[in-house]
Structure 1
Amino acid sequence: MRGMKLSAVNELRAVIHLFAAEHRQRAWLGAGVAALTVLSGMALLGLSGWFITATAIAGLNVALAFAFDVFMPSAGIRLLAMGRTGLRYAERLITHDTTLAVLADLRVRLFRGWAGPEAARRLLARPAQLLFRLTADIDALDSVYLRVMVPMFAATMAALATGIALAFIDAWLGLSVGLWLLGSGLGIALAVAWRARDIARRRYHMLEALRARSIDLVAGQTELLMHGRLSAQSDKLQKADARMAEADDALNHLESLSGMAYAIAGVAMLCGTLLWTAALVEQGVIGTPVAALALLLVLTATEPFSALRRGALEWGRTLLAARRLAERVQESECAVAAGAFSSNTFAVRLDAIAGDPAGAAATGLPYLHDLSLHIRHGERVALIGHSGAGKSTLMAIVAGELPVQEGMVAVAAHTLLTQRTELFQDSVRDNLLLAAPQADDATLWGALRQAGLADTIAATPGGLDTRLGEGGLGLSGGQARRLALARAFLREVPLWLLDEPTEGLDHVTAGDVLARLRHALDLEQRAGRARAILIATHVRREAMLADRIVQMRKGVIVADTRRGEALFDALLDTLRAD
């Protein structure tokens, strides 16, 4: 773990900043509308109680009944009733829209934070965990605004308004009720949050474990059965479910206790107010209708505090989610978006870099030290060397997947084509649009023709709308590689990074893919748009695509030669034949 653990305030600061900075006006508007909704409800009940009591008293006296104005209070009641309904709708609309906007921004920030060095490696190592961060962890943060900030603001305004209103009846009554509301309402919420913190975190951990173990059981049931571990995995799943059920029971018990505590505090305050106002009525300071108004105001003043219970119960879960996400959010704020390459000369410039592959200390793999490599725009460079020479590490550094420890790295905007074809369970069109979101159908078909896949896709009933399965299921290995190649053709970038792009393909398919790559490069060169390539390979057919060969051994460059030189042909002869 890097550095010290952040405090609870610091953990939430990056999340609260999204509300306070980028959506400040909407956040305050939502909180204000929520407060007005609560106040209008309190005023409605208080005025209704006063009106009913005053009407009943007026009805006992004929002269008073004729003099009593029933129109203004009744109009006020109808206005407050309709206003409260409209405010409640506006509150839900504004607060939920603000929350969804903030969470959407947060997901974008997290994507940027994770789209850094070693991101792909971490994603492959822990795909379910990172998906959990983007779904459950972010969803847990809706409590920050909806169930903590907004209810706390509304409850505070309700307590202050109640205290001020009662102060017009009796100053000490208003002060006492206001302090009791703030002390008991916020105090119970804080106590519940403290007690529920560990329980909510334990439940959250068990939920994550339950999801992971369920996936392991379903996806790996064949392997588990072969090794006799199927029943053991089922037992682990049941234990996680049982522990989560225990946490749910504890939270439900705590919620019941908090509800009882709020009820007791409310009843105690109501009884105190009843005795106080009764004494004032007996002394002739106030009338019975005013006493009824005071009692009903106090009765409704505890309602907004009870809304804090849900946020208090989920506080531990919210803090845990914030702790997991805060560092990434802060890193993404400091991240610089990838832009156009500034140099007019080099597509790749590495100066005296040093870097270790992931797990080098444990495996003893070679590391790069004081390595320099310059590739000009339009150059075609093959990177060769035996397994463990450092090719993959160097490619990862150039691709931005591995940070360097020393030196300077400057790389043009690029696209990466590897032997692992990354396709999604979506249509052919949407898989292509990842590379060029604004491309029209004519451009997509042109890329498919360039990759030699247009006839295959045209023969399907759906054409570009043909659905692919997970990982490109429905296409052969060669067809999937051609689709990835078409996607690369759509990317208007000055640099291609090719990491053994034809590995695993048969001789005919591999030769066709390389021929189409060469044809595309030649067309661009004749059009004056020279694209540079860096291809890591140990196969002769792929290295023939290059005009320059760089050989690595034990993390250093030991040879750098160009086509036409004797060393170039000699290095080609050392590579594996087709």
Structure 2
Amino acid sequence: MAVAAGSVALLGVSGWFITASALAGLAGPLAAGAFNYLLPAAIIRLCAILRTGGRYAERVIGHDAALGALARLRPKIFAGIMAAPVKFALGLSVGDASSRMVQDVDLLEARFVRIPVPWGLAVGVLTGMVILVPAGIAPALATLAILGITIGCGWLLACLSAEAGRNVQRVTARLKDRYATLVSSASELRAYGLENWAAQEIARESEALLKAQKQLTAWGGWFALLQATAAGLAAMLAMALSAHQFLPLAAMAALGAAMTVDCAGPFLRGLEAQGGWAEAAHRLERLLEAPTVSTGIAVRPAERPEIRFLRFGAVLVPGSVTGLTGRSGIGKTTILEKLVGLRHDDDVTILLDRWSLPVIDPADLRRAFAYAPQDAAMLAGSVRDNLRLAAGEATDDLLWQALEDAALADTIRALPQGLDTWIGENGAVLSGGERRRLSLARAYLRAAPWLLLDEPTAGLDQATEQRVVERLRARLAASGQGAIIVSHRPAPLALCTALITLHESGAEVLGQSAEGPSRLGGHSLHISPAV
């Protein structure tokens, strides 16, 4: 408001001062010598200082408030993604999620900063009226009419250009998403000689963005033309309607009218950006309003719960080790993901103790399991960072013990900085087998009654696999943990006291009892720990 008032007052006083100085000069040396230029010069300096100070305060206060709001918004967006059902969260690609977190949130900064703009426009209009009214009511009313028409035309242009603004946001997000996808596949693209194809894909998306930006810029030209035309018309009309007044007063009326209409500039620029703001807000609202995972009915399983597979007629008691096998795609990984709450058990095929999985709070459910998935993600951080995902307060001794049990300690010791070695994007510094064993070590660090291992030795040579299996055997015996091991390889399955083989029509359960293995079909099998 101070900026608008200072700008109008500065332009009005400056115009009056220039005009009066010119008239005094034309009147002759006597009038020029008697002309008091010190007072208007001081007023001009005061208005300039007020405008500069107001603009500085506006930037500091406005941007501080906007950046504070955005700093609080980003964690909420991330929390919204994490709290949403896995199907929704996994539907967001890395590029799409990052563009919303960065691009869309940054765009809203300008919207927050422009919240006071209507108030600034109001102050500018009031100040303009103070300058215009001495020249007559007619120039003041004419200026208000032109200002109203200008704002109305601005709303119309905003409606017409909104789709162009939205399209720029969409195309920009698509370009970022495509870029992130291709960069993450750089090794495969090089291996198959597809670098040129990838570059053409980026060029195609860039061309689409350029086209969208040109369309939006063209609409911006119409906004600029509207403002310039309105300011010129207001000045000429105010001067014409105050022509019967003293010439300096008429000149001040023209300058006041132009400045009053010019105060609508920030408001018009806000209208110009409405389309982009609306699209950014819509994309963010989809994340903030995404359905959250149900927290169940606050039931809590026992500290060492049994696992009951209703479809297989199998009960896994704490401390037992069960193998899960079957052809690829039969649903082995799905069972593990249901247990840790990454998939919803709609048909209620699994119970933890006597409770179905959907009624258990996800936090309580996941506390029961330590999970090493088949394709574990790695943070772009150090070995220590990745291990501590499972146990944030774990000491170095515990980290090294987990690495020893995963047959990875010697490899990590050989790295330049040991536990503090940077392993790159998704563990790029490590081999596939090393990443799998790092994931296994991470699961070992979680103090949970059940260990879920999905293909823990896939990709390992026979000697390394044997070391991993033997150390897993010793760890299970020492900790008393139960385990469900998904594998096609005989070495890890040899640890199991029971084997569940999935097939299209059901499952075959082979249990190990004191009398030896027994094959059960359609009957309940109580699987106990190995003796």
- TM-score if structure 2 supplies the norm length? 0.74
2:147 maps to what in 1? 181
1:332-370 superposed Cα distances (whole Å, 9 cap, x missing partner): 6x5678999833356577898xxxxxxxxxxxxxxxxx8
1:20-75 superposed Cα distances (whole Å, 9 cap, x missing partner): xxxxxxxxxxxxxxx3333333334334445666788899899999997956x666
Q: Distance in 2 between matches of 1:416 and 1:132?
A: 30
1:274 maps to what in 2? 239
Among 379, 383, 388, which residue is 1:428 paired with? Answer: 383
Among 76, 82, 94, which residue is 1:109 paired with? Answer: 76
1:81 counterpart letter in structure 2: A
SS in 1 for 2:452: strand
1:390 maps to what in 2? 331
User: Which runs of 5 or more structure 1 residues have no equivalent in the other structure?
Assistant: 1-34, 353-369, 526-530, 573-578
2:48 counterpart letter in structure 1: A
1:504 maps to what in 2? 459
Distance 1:563 1:515, change over 3 A: farther
SS in 1 for 2:457: coil
Aligned partners of 1:266 and 1:302 also within 8 Å: yes
Q: Is 1:82 aligned with 2:52? A: no
Aligned partners of 2:440 and 2:456 also within 8 Å: no
Q: Distance in 1 between matches of 2:277 and 2:234?
A: 32
Q: Is 1:342 aligned with 2:300? A: yes
Distance 1:546 1:232, change over 3 A: closer
Aligned partners of 1:511 and 1:541 also within 8 Å: yes
Q: Is 1:42 aligned with 2:8? A: yes
Q: Distance in 2 between matches of 1:190 and 1:470?
A: 47
Larger radius of gyration: 2
Among 103, 122, 125, which residue is 2:91 paired with? Answer: 122
Q: How does 1:115-514 map to 2 (within 5 A)?
A: 115=82, 116-118=85-87, 121-122=90-91, 126-146=93-113, 149-163=115-129, 166=132, 173-184=139-150, 186-207=151-172, 216=182, 219=186, 221=189, 240-279=205-244, 281-282=245-246, 288=248, 294-308=253-267, 310-331=269-290, 334=292, 342-345=300-303, 347=305, 378-382=318-322, 384-387=324-327, 388-407=329-348, 408=356, 409=358, 410=360, 411-413=365-367, 414-437=369-392, 444-445=399-400, 447-449=402-404, 451-492=406-447, 495-514=450-469
Aligned partners of 2:377 and 2:426 also within 8 Å: yes
Q: Distance in 1 between matches of 2:57 and 2:316?
A: 59
Aligned partners of 2:427 and 2:435 also within 8 Å: yes
Alpha-carbon RMSD: 4.6
Q: Displacement, 1:294?
A: 4.6
Q: Displacement, 1:417?
A: 0.7
Distance 1:403 1:171, change over 3 A: farther
Aligned partners of 1:445 and 1:454 also within 8 Å: yes
Distance 1:542 1:430, change over 3 A: same
- TM-score if structure 1 supplies the norm length? 0.69
Q: Distance in 2 between matches of 1:102 and 1:348?
A: 46
Q: Distance in 1 between matches of 2:337 and 2:42?
A: 73
Number of aligned residue pairs: give it.
500
More deviation in 299-308 or 60-69?
60-69
Q: Distance in 2 between matches of 1:329 and 1:252?
A: 31
User: Which runs of 5 or more structure 2 residues have no equivalent in the other structure?
Assistant: 349-355, 526-531
2:60 maps to what in 1? 93
Aligned partners of 2:406 and 2:441 also within 8 Å: yes
Identity %: 29
